Amino acid sequence: MNADLPFFKYHPDPFATGIFRRLNEPVTCPCCGRETAVIYEGPFYSRESVEHLCPHCIASGAAAEKYSGEFQDSESTDEVDGPDKLDELIHRTPGYCGWQQEYWRAHCGDFCAYLGAVGYAELEEMGIADEVRETLSDDWYEEIFTDLTKDGSTVGYLFRCLHCGKYLLHIDCD
């Protein structure tokens, strides 16, 4: 990301994951009222339909506060060591788009960094297919693991532990 944009420890490269998009012409952020050429295009759970949030309003928590919203469903996460970590994830971290319900993985008592959508081929290429296979929580995942595709009907969402570096996977289907 650019130096003038905030860093999100749980979503370190939102441009690579497609959650932030750079515009040719700036728009006005509905939260702060400032012009921005970078907008958020991910999930935001709020009573109001809000578009074109700027990264700064996400990072500061202003968007979540102003619209009583969340960027991640608090019930669709692994458990962590403290409520402050959940608060940062759901109120100050860009989410990601999944097929049915986004789920955020955790390890070492903290949420992991979301790295993006992957298929089995990408996991093999990275040399981590066996490592992430061990992190799957449901038996039926084993049956579909080798069928994962980055842009298909069965997608893997890759995470990495911020503390020990272990890779974890969440699988979702259309």
Kindly report, residue by residue over 105-151, the tens digit of the pLDDT: 999 999 999 999 999 999 999 999 999 988 876 666 677 888 898 88
Are 22 and 16 a contacting pair, CB within 8 Å?
A: no
Are 160 and 110 a contacting pair, CB within 8 Å?
A: no
* pLDDT grade for 3, boundaries at 50, 70 and 90: low
User: Quick one: pLDDT at residue 1?
Assistant: 46
What does the mean pLDDT of the chain come to? 93
As to burial, measured by CB atoms within 10 angstroms (0-12 exposed, 13-18 middle, 19+ buried), residue 11 is buried
User: Quick one: pLDDT at residue 99?
Assistant: 81
User: Quick one: pLDDT at residue 101?
Assistant: 84
